[in-house]
Amino acid sequence: MAMSVPRLAFTPPPKVESAIVYLEDRADRFEDLSGLEHITAIAFGQRRKMLRASLKSLGNGEAILEAAGIDPSARPETISPEGFFALTRAWRSAQGGLAV
């Protein structure tokens, strides 16, 4: 947190505390954001579906899940960000590294 901002700095004064935060770009951030966006859109595109069913449209969803080390019966909301990174890398590898 860089600094606090008093309530009286706003009109009308809010009923919450405010602060200014400083965000730094991470050197180790995930490199394939367009691929990650594509995979997460597919994974979360159908409510309450297991990843096996959600990724079926990729044609080789089961193989991609296996390559990423993710249980095909898992639901997207239970997968960590690192799991989605692995899933995106496995998908890109299966695509031969081609862009979306």
- Is 52 domain-assigned? yes
Is 20 or 1 the better-scoring residue by pLDDT?
20
- Is the pLDDT confidence value at 95 over 60? yes
- Is the pLDDT confidence value at 97 over 80? no
- Is 2 domain-assigned? no
Segment 59-86 mean pLDDT: 96
- Is 10 domain-assigned? no
Helices (H), the chain: 33-43, 51-54, 61-68, 81-94
CB count in 10 Å sphere of residue 35:
22
**Is residue 30 a contact partner of residue 45, using CB atoms and an 8 Å limit?**
no
- Which range of residues forms the domain containing residue 78? 33-94
Q: Hey, what's the torsion of the CAs at 53, 58, 64, 68, to 10 degrees?
A: -80
Which residue's structure tokens are 């690192």?
Answer: 82
At 29 the pLDDT is: 83
At 42 the pLDDT is: 96
Tokens describing residue 34: 């367009």
Q: Which of 33-37, 45-49, 51-55, 61-65 has the lowest mean pLDDT?
A: 45-49
Q: How many domains does the chain have?
A: 1
- Is 24 domain-assigned? no
- Is 86 domain-assigned? yes
Question: Which CATH number does the domain housing residue 78 bear?
Answer: 1.10.8.100
- Is 4 domain-assigned? no
Mean pLDDT of the chain: 92
- Is 71 domain-assigned? yes
At 1 the pLDDT is: 85
- Is 51 domain-assigned? yes
